[in-house]
Amino acid sequence: MLALGKLLELTLAGREPAQKTQLTVDGVRMRWLSEGALEVRPPEARDNGLDLLLSAGIHGNETAPIELLDRLLHAIARGDLKPRARILFLFGNPEAMRRGERYIEQDVNRLFNGRHEQSSGSEALRACELERLASTFFSLPERGRLHYDLHTAIRGSKIEQFALYPWKEGRTHSRLELARLRAAGMQAVLLQNKPSIVFSSFTYDKLGAEAFTLELGKARPFGQNEGVDVSRLETRLQQIIEGTEPPLDGNLEGLQLFSVAREIIKHSDQFQLNLPADIENFSELEPGYVLAEDIAQMRWVVEEEGARIIFPNPKVKNGLRAGILIVPNNAETLL
């Protein structure tokens, strides 16, 4: 196997490869760009016009997606997986990966779309570098652009595998992309309705990619991901990479769709989230429930029918989102 296929090993060791570019026996070029970043380019005659960005490790302790990308890279380096798409593999926060921590000082996935410019430190610099790498990769004209940013959650979930679909004014969420997510094992999709500061929102908003944050289960240490079943996603990614994906028909049967009703923003150290510490994502909340309280008699009271909570986290920094209240949606507005 080519040494560059061991990107994860290099990243965890904090080493640069001796050779920055290597070719597989099939003429696939693998090029090391910077720490945790590797570009894969198929021979021109096999290139089908798709640019695929696969990122993981934006949170360093979310290891199942990292291991998934590692398997795909190994297969390419061995010549078992024969790409027809250009691919950029990114491990987002190498230092946090080495320490087994979610982040070191700042959550990298809250530093995109201009936020890193308002901050400092190594993770703000890394977010800036990730934007630069993605921008360069998606700079070629007249090509398809697809980005999957792979995560696992810090808590359990009543719907284990789900996706977040960014929003941009003037763009419509794609029914075919939702069908692809369904085929990849996603059980639900949250259709966002405002700009965001996460990585997938940057590539969707600024770079014109179809982009998604994928949540694949609960975060566990390296080597302990037997309970995280990514087999359907792995198969679909292999098919996308090799250009053998079955045709998509827009079938969304069984895929649950949700919209954002409100975000709960933590404004002060007095913020109180009135939920059990071990509450699972997608837990339902009854109308009238006092969800959260903060300074100046600020209260978040559940008003929506069928409301559920995702990503509740009262420990975020002041000014950041401490949870999202979501409601069921339907597919009538989708193309």
What's the CA gap between 146 and 144, in Å, rounded? 7
- On whether both 174 and 317 belong to a single domain, the answer is no
Residue 334 lies in a domain: no
Q: Is the pLDDT of residue 222 over 80?
A: no
Look up the CATH number of the domain holding residue 286.
Answer: 2.40.50.630
Within a domain: 306: yes
pLDDT score for 331: 63
Domain of residue 284 covers 261-328
> Is position 115 within any domain?
yes
Residue 228 and residue 268 in one domain: no
Q: Could you tell me if residue 66 is inside a domain?
A: yes
Residue 115 pLDDT: 84
Q: Residue with structure tokens 């966002």? A: 192
Q: 308-311 contacts: CB < 8 A, separation 24 or more? A: 308/258, 308/282, 308/283, 308/284, 309/275, 309/279, 309/281, 309/282, 309/283, 309/285, 310/157, 310/190, 310/281, 310/282, 311/153, 311/281
pLDDT for position 330: 75
* CA torsion, ordered 179, 183, 184, 186, to nearest 10 deg: 70
Count of structural domains within the chain: 2
Other C-beta atoms lying within 10 Å of the C-beta of residue 108: 27
Q: Give the model's confidence band at 120: pLDDT under 50 very low, under 70 low, under 90 confident, else very high.
A: confident
Q: Is residue 7 part of a domain?
A: yes
Residue 250 has pLDDT above 90, yes or no: no
In a shared domain, residues 33 and 91:
yes
Catalytic residue among 95, 177, 210, 215: 215
pLDDT at 251: 86
End residue of a domain, out of 242, 272, 306: 242
What are the φ and ψ backbone dihedral angles of 196, each rounded to 5 degrees?
-135, 170
Structural domain contains residue 20: yes
Q: Let me know whether 268 and 168 are in one domain.
A: no
Q: Are residues 280 and 199 in the same domain?
A: no
Catalytic residue check, 62: no
Same domain, 238 and 269: no
Whether 236 and 288 share a structural domain: no
In a domain? residue 175: yes
One domain, residues 66 and 186: yes
User: Does residue 151 sit in the same domain as residue 279?
Assistant: no
- pLDDT tens track for 124-168: 999 999 999 999 999 999 999 999 999 998 888 999 999 999 999
What six digits make up the tokens of 290? 């006092």
pTM of this structure: 0.93
Task: Residue 26: give its domain's CATH number.
Answer: 3.40.630.10
Do 210 and 282 lie in one domain? The reply is no
**Same-domain pairing of 223 and 316:** no
Domain assignment of residue 235, yes or no: yes
Given a contact cutoff of 8 angstroms between Cβ atoms, the answer to whether 228 and 161 are in contact is: no
| End residue of a domain, out of 242, 275, 292 | 242
**The domain boundary residue, chosen from 211, 242, 273:** 242
pLDDT more than 90, % of the chain: 85
Phi, psi of 200, deg, nearest 5: -65, -30
Task: Identify the residue with better confidence: 101 or 156.
Answer: 101
| 269 and 187 within one domain | no
- If pLDDT is split at 50, 70 and 90, which confidence band does 118 have? confident
Residues 6+ apart with CB under 8 A from 281: 153, 155, 156, 157, 158, 159, 162, 215, 309, 310, 311, 312
